[in-house]
Amino acid sequence: MASNNRAAQINKVLKVVKKTYKPVEPVADRTVLEHLVFACCLENSLHEDAEKVFAALKNDYFDWNEVRVSSVRELSELVKPLNDAEEAATRLKRVLQSVFETLYSYDLEPLKKQNIGQSIKQLENFHGTTPFTVSYVTQNGLGGHSIPINQGLLEAMHVVEVISDAEAAKRSVPGLERAIPKTKGTEVGTLLHQLGVELHRSPYGPTIRKILLEIDPSCKDRLPKRQTKKAEAANEKKSAGNSKDERKKKSSSKEPAAEPVKKKKSSKKASIAKKAAPKKKKKTAGRVAKKTSNKKLTKKKPR
């Protein structure tokens, strides 16, 4: 997409989300690690729900190390208010584990003193971090200009053709930071986040359809569609066919196992035949010797 067309389409998105949603003021008085933990909770949920879960984590556990050693199942129960409880619990546990294994502590404050590019790379190297969590910490913990993009927002931008298929695969929205001033980055970021959460939570609902059509009336054919019963049946047939093929492969792979036994039997017969063959040769040799001796005797008789 040409840069002018992309900028115009991004401005349409911003105009609609400003009219539809109210901005949220994120809590600024947090450590870098706390921003990272909060981002793990926030990614696909509303700020209000993420704040409740974050408060529960701090109140119910002694420290972040206790959270780290807890099971994903246990954490999933605590983060139930989130739209993606199990995924959020997995992200949280993996991130804390990676931070601890890398630093043997939970202190990420030194990242503020480093070059921001170096700090971003270090955040990306922690297992469990996502483009969203890295951008959120960059914006709220490191003071950088980065708009957090969750999966729902990425899909919305793709539907209204702000980004191409290739850009969606790379999870990037080129030109977004240029279209939003740094001073408005946090505010506008919370509005866009709510759009992404709406699509993630209810992709086929009337609310998200109305918003996306208002941004781009021509996007009707690109809106998320429910899978039809025929498509579901076709998928079931495919899976059934695949299972049958697997069974055939397994049975065919078992059949050749009997072949070596047959070969062994035939080899035994061949060896027996070989052993028997010399005996026949010896007998025939004896008979030939007798015949020759008889011939010699018969020749001598006339003399």
Q: Residue 258 pLDDT more than 60?
A: no
Q: Are 67 and 92 in contact (CB under 8 A)?
A: yes
Tell whether 55 and 153 lie within a shared domain.
yes
Tell whether 155 and 281 lie within a shared domain.
no
Mean pLDDT to the nearest integer, 269-297? 47
Q: How many domains does the chain have?
A: 2
Tell whether 12 and 144 lie within a shared domain.
yes
Q: Is 275 a domain residue? A: yes
Note the pLDDT of residue 81. 97
Domain that holds residue 52: 3-222
Note the pLDDT of residue 234. 64
* Tokens found for residue 63: 């420290």
Whether the full predicted model's pTM is greater than 0.85, yes or no, is no
Note the pLDDT of residue 227. 76
Q: Are 201 and 84 in contact (CB under 8 A)?
A: no
Tell whether 38 and 126 lie within a shared domain.
yes
- Which of 176, 193, 222 is the endpoint of a domain? 222
Tell whether 217 and 285 lie within a shared domain.
no
Note the pLDDT of residue 230. 63
Confidence band, pLDDT 50/70/90 cuts, at residue 251: low
Q: Which amino acid is at 150?
A: N
Question: Token pair 């047939």 is at which residue?
Answer: 237
For 193-239, the pLDDT digits (tens) are 999 999 999 999 999 999 999 999 999 999 998 876 665 666 666 65
Q: How much is the mean pLDDT over the chain?
A: 85
In Å, what is the CA distance from 233 to each residue of 157, 244, 297? 31, 16, 97
Q: Are 2 and 175 in contact (CB under 8 A)?
A: no
Q: Residue 116 pLDDT more than 50?
A: yes
Which of 108-117, 223-232, 262-271 has the largest mean confidence? 108-117
Tell whether 265 and 215 lie within a shared domain.
no
Q: Residue 262 pLDDT more than 90?
A: no
* Helix, strand, coil percent content, the chain, rounded in steps of 5: 75, 0, 25
For 144-191, the pLDDT digits (tens) are 999 999 999 999 999 999 999 999 999 999 999 999 999 999 999 999
Note the pLDDT of residue 237. 64
Q: Residue 269 pLDDT more than 50?
A: no
Note the pLDDT of residue 243. 52
For 37-53, the pLDDT digits (tens) are 999 999 999 999 999 99
Mean pLDDT to the nearest integer, 94-114? 97
Q: Residue 274 pLDDT more than 80?
A: no
Burial of 133 (0-12, 13-18, 19+ CB in 10 A): buried
62: CATH: 1.10.340.30
Q: Which residues lie closer than 8 Å to 142 by C-beta, 6 or more apart?
A: 32, 111, 112, 116, 119, 120
In Å, what is the CA distance from 292 to each residue of 141, 205, 281, 288, 300? 112, 109, 16, 6, 13
In the 8-state DSSP scheme, what is residue 223? S
